Amino acid sequence: MTASSLIADSLARDLLSAITAGVLLAGIAWIAIKRPALAMLYFFVFLSFAWRLGSVVYIDLLGPLPSEQLERNIGPGISAVPLALSQGMVVAALLFSFRGRRLLALRDTYPPLPALITTGRFKLSNLAFGAIALFVIALWIELFVRGPIPLFAAMERFDYSRLYGGPLHQRLMEWGPMLAFQIGVFFVAPTLHDQPFDRRFGALFASLLVYLFLVGHRFSSFYVYSCFFIIPIGAVLLGREASGLRARRLFTGTALRNFWIAGIALLLLIVVAVTYSYTVVRKFEGGQLLSKLSQRILVQQGEMWWMTYERIFVQGQWNGGFAAYKLFVEPFEPTRNSTMQLLMELGLPLERAHFILRAGSAYTGGWPEVWFELGGPIGGFVLVALSAFLFSEFMFLITRCIIEERFATCFFLTPLLYALSITVAAGMVNSFVQVTLVIKAAAALVVLVVENRWRSGLITAPSTASSRSQPRPRREA
């Protein structure tokens, strides 16, 4: 092959990767501009998608590039094409589940809750605030009495959790995003009745972010907690749009200004946390710092997908049976994300992969790698489509429960929301074969049915009572 044909082939390959990725990113941007409520619901997924896709395009266009973690060169190629197609299936499923006609039907499903029950002294929000505030206060007390504060001791967050973290800290590490979602539900709940946001829960959420900052967390935790916190806000905004109400009534001038202030403060907190971690805790300087940041931002997000693309799409090497065995039967560490364990074992020397996993660390990625490791280059797309549809339908169910104030159902659906979100963002699938998650799913189904019957009873009871109170017509002589 001549030099000119090689250049033309390389240019065509680069254009294909760039154009495919550009179309997907333009679609996400269109949703964010035209349907911001959907963008809030899917912000956790969308930001992950955009970051990984940008990293993969960078590897495709500028490869071969050195990968510090894989200890080899990666790229070039057209790995962005199957990745963008997979992400596009998630976007298409989202638009299908949240199509306009379905949202209009959701608007008239149930009357608002205050029309069904009379208000009394008991308020669920007060009970929720008291319980969460008690946990947060105890969490802060535990931080100050158990050992050094990582921010002031230049300590990694993993070391603090392993050496000093108490039981409340460990529970926060396990349940934190789910707790953030529940805080978001009660923060936005008053707006369903044209009342302002409940600032008490905003203060609780802010205190959790400051706690994470003090114990050494950087970008990922702030990102995950914030994404789960704004999901209920997006759901309520969708409900108002379906009812023909303007978003301006929800985000008044004062509320919008407060959100901007909170967003800027969060961004500054993340910048300070990342800078402190790299320069003080890890003591990177000069060129080494720039190299580490470029690897973290531009390479590490896409390197595991590029390995899967090369192995499956280029070399045709995949074994679905082996992948299923390592994912569900005998992972290296059953209590953690088995998808990344499998990918690291396939992409690294086995001893090195196990050493990293024993240290409590793992690489970035997992979705859609897991589906192609199981199904190959063709079946992988089928599995991606099925998982995308399941996730979008579940997000519609969550939205419906928030709009209809099904707080009990929301509470029991929260673990499933977390599991499905982590699956789409990081490919974690081994949680779905655990007995505990099956029990949680069954409990959520029971609560959904019971709460539905309770609401139906509230609807029919007033109408029955009113019909009985109507005077009977007199018979004519």
pLDDT in tens, 195-208: 889 999 999 999 99
Does residue 250 sit in helix, strand or coil?
A: coil
Residue 475: pLDDT band by 50, 70, 90 thresholds? Answer: very low
Minimal CA–CA distance to 398: which of 415, 376, 385? Answer: 415
Residue 371 pLDDT exceeds 90 = yes
**34-to-54, 241, 251 alpha-carbon distances in Å:** 22, 12, 17
Euclidean distance between CA atoms 344 and 304, whole angstroms: 8
Position 476 scores a pLDDT of 40
Euclidean distance between CA atoms 59 and 257, whole angstroms: 39
Question: What's phi and psi for 432, nearest 5 deg?
Answer: -80, -10
Residue 476 DSSP symbol: P
Position 8 scores a pLDDT of 72
Residue 108 pLDDT exceeds 70 = no
Lowest mean pLDDT among 154-158, 204-208, 213-217, 322-326: 154-158
Task: Scan for tokens 């499903």, then name that residue.
Answer: 109
Residue 161 pLDDT exceeds 90 = no
Residue 477: pLDDT band by 50, 70, 90 thresholds? Answer: very low
Q: Which residues contact 448 (CB under 8 A, 6 or more apart)?
A: 406, 409, 412, 413
Element at 66 (helix H, strand E)? strand 65-67
For residues 78-91, average pLDDT: 96
Position 118 scores a pLDDT of 44
Residue 248: pLDDT band by 50, 70, 90 thresholds? Answer: low
Residue 239: pLDDT band by 50, 70, 90 thresholds? Answer: confident
Task: Scan for tokens 């590039």, then name that residue.
Answer: 65
With beta carbons less than 8 A apart as the criterion, state whether 170 and 335 touch. Answer: no
Reading the block at residue 326, the tokens are 């390592």
Position 227 scores a pLDDT of 94
pLDDT tens for 168-180 read 999 999 999 999 9
Residue 119 DSSP symbol: -
Position 465 scores a pLDDT of 47
Q: What percent of the chain has pLDDT over 70?
A: 89
Residue 110 pLDDT exceeds 70 = no
Does residue 240 sit in helix, strand or coil?
A: helix
Lowest mean pLDDT among 131-135, 249-253, 375-379, 416-420: 249-253
Residue 410 pLDDT exceeds 90 = yes
More confident site: 217 or 455: 217
